[in-house]
Amino acid sequence: MCDVISQFSGVSRRSLLGLAGVAGGAALVSSMTAPAVAAGDYMKDLGNARDYHTRLALLGTAAGRTFWGGTERQGISSALAVGDAVYLIDCGDGWARRYLQAGLGTQKEFSGLEGLEGVFITHMHSDHLIDYPSLLIFGSTDGLAVRKKPVQVFGPGSRGKLVPLSPSATDTPPVINPENPTPGISDMTEYVYQAYAADLNDNMRDSLKPDPHTLINVSEVVVPPGLVVNPDVDPAPPMEPLHVYEDENVRVTATLVKHPPVYPALAYRFDTAEGSVVFSGDTAYSDNLIRLAQGADILVHEVIDPRWVESLFPSPPTPAQEAKIHHLINSHTSIEEVGVVAENAGVKTLVLSHLAPADNPKNRWLEAGRSFSGRLVVGDDLMQIGIGKRRR
């Protein structure tokens, strides 16, 4: 069972007339609209969040490597809070400010991240990582230095080779960082430290800040040897979920999903004592994801509107435009498909996030409910959903 405890943005296909009784008794706890409000107003809306020991927080819900002028949605990032422990999924633009606005950390100066236990990166596209450096660089100031143990960071390893050149290409582009053109999360972390070496060395020597290596422990999710023969052909062959992490609050498993030409692209499942939440990452329709998400309480899934893709460029498109259209259509899950994924996985609640475009009318997203018999929620920044029973 899960309750929306901040902004309500969805209904069940079965319950369009009975909002008070959607999805097996989930309660409507605050307003049914999602206006743009200041951070202080959001904090007032979160009073009921403390009634739940476990809750999902959508920090940023926009897709893509753009700032989406005209909308206040921030880049893709979500968090799962279990008591005071927080687990962050992806580090899109603005995640840290949203983290504090969501009430996940203390509101005092030079604090806020003390409860952050783990970070889980789905893949190495920049819209999921653009604010990862802020964790590494600002973390020692904002609470990581007072933790008793490092924050655990998990993410993909290296692809191993460059992605194939698009068939639409008319020439061969240069290779960025040819010595290591496809770094995974471990190498990226070290590159960030190198890029900010002047600042880090300054603060370690002058202000006696700790070595950031002692505050964050980075691990790559290891794909079983021999599973993927050629990521250019099949980057996500059938597989059983992989064990990634476990502590007293959560058990985390992962699977490969289809987001070509990216490899590895991961989805994560978090099982807690009060319920389970799955994060799709970026993916086309994926049988591996359906297997991972079987019976979950909540599936947070990316979605793209094919009509928007069709409207992006005049006809005929240029080679570059044609390549972009191919990626958008073949590497993401459409409105028409995402409900099918949720239905086949047997999840209770489908939450749409990583919205492409970020400024689409809400009614268009709700069309995903035509293929899903559970509760459909259109995600908004700072929306929270309680999981399990209310404590009071």
**Phi, psi of 125, deg, nearest 5:** -80, 145
Q: What pLDDT, on a 0 to 100 scale, did the predictor assign at position 346?
A: 99
**Residue 58 β-bridge partners:** 78
Q: What pLDDT, on a 0 to 100 scale, did the predictor assign at position 32?
A: 28
Q: What pLDDT, on a 0 to 100 scale, did the predictor assign at position 30?
A: 32
Structure tokens at 266: 């991961």
Do residues 356 and 64 make contact, with C-beta atoms less than 8 angstroms apart?
Answer: yes
Structure tokens at 318: 């240029």
Query: Residues with Cβ < 8 Å from 40, sequence gap 6 or more?
Result: none
Determine if the pTM surpasses 0.95.
no
Question: Domains in the chain, start-ordered, CATH in brackets?
Answer: 2-11+23-162+182-224+242-390 (3.60.15.10)
For 330-339, b/e burial (b = at least 16 CB within 10 A) is: ebbbbbebbb
Using DSSP's 3-state secondary structure scheme, residue 28 falls into strand
Structure tokens at 23: 């999805």
Give the C-alpha separation, 107 to 166, whole Å.
Answer: 47
Do residues 356 and 303 make contact, with C-beta atoms less than 8 angstroms apart?
Answer: yes
Element (H, E) at 270: strand 266-272
Using DSSP's 3-state secondary structure scheme, residue 309 falls into helix
The count of C-alpha atoms lying within 13 angstroms of the C-alpha of 83, restricted to the half-sphere facing its C-beta, is 7
**Phi, psi of 189, deg, nearest 5:** -60, -45
Do residues 145 and 209 make contact, with C-beta atoms less than 8 angstroms apart?
Answer: yes
Q: What pLDDT, on a 0 to 100 scale, did the predictor assign at position 44?
A: 32
Tens digits of residue pLDDT in 72-111? 999 999 999 999 999 999 999 999 999 999 999 877 776 8
Bridge-based pairing of strands 384-390 and 2-4 is antiparallel
Which residue type sits at 207?
A: S
pLDDT mean for each 10 residues of the chain (392 residues)? 51 38 33 37 49 94 91 97 97 96 82 96 98 97 95 98 90 97 99 99 97 98 97 97 98 99 98 98 98 98 96 91 92 98 98 97 97 96 92 71
Do residues 105 and 85 make contact, with C-beta atoms less than 8 angstroms apart?
Answer: no
Tens digits of residue pLDDT in 282-315? 999 999 999 999 999 999 999 999 999 999 999 8
Q: What pLDDT, on a 0 to 100 scale, did the predictor assign at position 367?
A: 97
Q: What pLDDT, on a 0 to 100 scale, did the predictor assign at position 36?
A: 38
Q: How many CB atoms lie within 10 A of CB 83?
A: 12
If we measure between CA atoms, which residue out of 337, 249, 357 comes closest to residue 290?
337
Task: Give me the sheet containing 349-356, strands edge to edge.
Answer: 242-246, 251-256, 266-272, 275-279, 298-304, 349-356, 375-378
Query: Residues with Cβ < 8 Å from 198, sequence gap 6 or more?
Result: none
Query: Residues with Cβ < 8 Å from 380, sequence gap 6 or more?
Result: 7, 9, 34, 58, 61, 73
Q: How many CB atoms lie within 10 A of CB 89?
A: 28
Q: What pLDDT, on a 0 to 100 scale, did the predictor assign at position 389?
A: 86
